[in-house]
Amino acid sequence: MKYDFFIENLGKRLIKSPINISNFTKDKKRLLFNSYSDDYLSLIDKKGQPLSVELAGPRDKIFFNPLQTKAAIVTCGGLCPGINDVIRSITTALFYNYNVKNIVGVKYGLRGLNSVYGHKLMKLSPETVKDITSIGGSILSTSRGPQDTAVIVNSLARLNINILFCIGGDGSIRAAEEITAEVNKRNLKIAIVCIPKTIDNDLNLIQKSFGFDTAIEKAAEAIKSAHVEAKGAFNGIGLIKIMGRHSGHIAAHAALAQNDTNFVLIPEVPFDLKGENGFLTILKNRMKSRGHAVILVAEGAGQHLLRKKNLPMEKDPSGNIRLLDIGLFLKNSIEEYFKELNMEINLKYIEPSYLIRSVPANASDGIYCNSLGQYAVHAGMAGKTGLLVALMKDEYVHLPLNTVSSNRKIDPQDDIWLRVLETTGQPPLMKNY
């Protein structure tokens, strides 16, 4: 893929920054991309120079006059640990670092910018956000599904919003890209800055998504519980379904964090259910040799086993294909299989996904969220637009919205999956060929 990391600016920065520091970040200070690629030309920019990314950070001159600036924050998509931490960080950075006092929160996602729903804006200040990091979810609430881009931009203009901070995942980033295009088309001076949010950690180019560390920590607790249940009964089986629509990052890392898992099933590694090398046969052999098992399955795994050919796939309001329930399918399949063998088992099914999504961020994610919010504010006040703030190679950078999508998957030949196989002892493939 040929990347273009050019970052748009609303205009010249003529206002001296109110931040009292000496080490401001210059636009010319960049991070070399240096991705591994067989295509050398993909690592060269339009000027024939090595591909590089703009570093995030405060600029010595800013575009917006703080006393005349109105900023809005919106949260979109599913819940994730750390959203409130980002809201708090954006609010306090605007208020204390830049003396921006006019800060509002948009309720219920982008639909909050459609007047037909009648949602009122929420006034934000350091006082209103001071305690929100101790609770999960989003104090602004959220929603899924597309909204009319023209209507959103009409509202931004009518409300005199200068900077829109959008906290959301792949779908929200695409929506922000459309909003940026409409703003540019109308020649409006509104900055659109995103903070990427996906608990699945599947956005390409981004080192880590916020909430991921918390998700692993809580998933590891579920594995501990499943292991206790499995060991506590004759032929006990603990089955856990975890998040991971298209990628198994949470499942893989949780298994590495808590070594009691015996099988990890992820979307990137197809498996057969029956047959000599199928999952059920291998599980039976495990039960005969060890007398217990812990199974961790990502929600997007094994969808080929559930779908009937030629049937249309339903989609949710965000446009994602509705996943069929692999957890309950495996539970029923395992119970039926061992019943046919006349082999007693005691299976406990655990589904902690919504508990994990709704908890407050842990310390690691709290630090990360705080940094993302601060760097997003620096970008917005500098008049940079159509970008998201991200961590890349341990540096905070600006990425154009159109370079990021949720297609980062686990490579079955890569180090992470090989370590999972070593930890669990499961076969590399459970396929009959």
State residue 3's pLDDT score: 81
CB-count exposure of residue 2 (10 Å: 0-12, 13-18, 19+): exposed
pLDDT for 41 equals: 46
Contact indicator for 71, 161 with CB cutoff of 8 Å: yes
Q: What is the pLDDT along the chain (433 residues), one digit of tens a residue?
A: 678 899 999 999 999 999 999 999 998 889 988 754 444 445 566 666 788 999 999 999 999 999 999 999 999 999 999 999 999 999 999 999 999 999 999 999 999 999 999 999 999 999 999 999 999 999 999 998 889 999 999 999 999 999 999 999 988 999 999 999 999 999 999 999 999 999 999 999 999 999 999 999 999 999 999 999 999 999 999 999 999 998 999 999 999 999 999 999 999 999 999 999 999 999 999 999 999 999 999 999 999 898 765 555 666 665 666 788 999 999 999 999 999 999 999 999 999 998 999 999 999 999 999 999 999 999 999 999 999 999 999 999 999 999 988 778 999 999 999 999 999 999 998 888 7
**Residue with token string 């057969």:** 272
Q: Write down the pLDDT at residue 19.
A: 96
Largest CA distance in the chain: 79
Q: Which of 200, 202, 260, 365 is catalytic?
A: 200
Phi, psi angle pair for 422, to nearest 5°? -65, -40
d(CA 166, CA 57): 18
Residue 185: which residues within 8 A CB-CB, separation 6 or more?
A: none
User: How far apart, in whole angstroms, are the C-alpha atoms of residue 136 and residue 211?
Assistant: 11
End-to-end CA, the chain: 33
Domains present along the chain, CATH in parentheses: 8-209+361-392 (3.40.50.450), 212-358+412-424 (3.40.50.460)
Q: Based on the residue annotation, tell me whether 200 is a catalytic residue of this protein.
A: yes
What residues have CB less than 8 Å from 267, skipping those under 6 apart?
244, 245, 246, 247, 248, 298, 300, 301, 303, 409
DSSP lists the bridge partners of residue 75 as: 167
E-strand ranges in 184-291 read 191-196, 236-242, 263-265
Residue type, 405: S
pLDDT at 234: 97
Looking at residue 230, its pLDDT comes to: 97
Q: Which two tokens stand for residue 47?
A: 């000027």
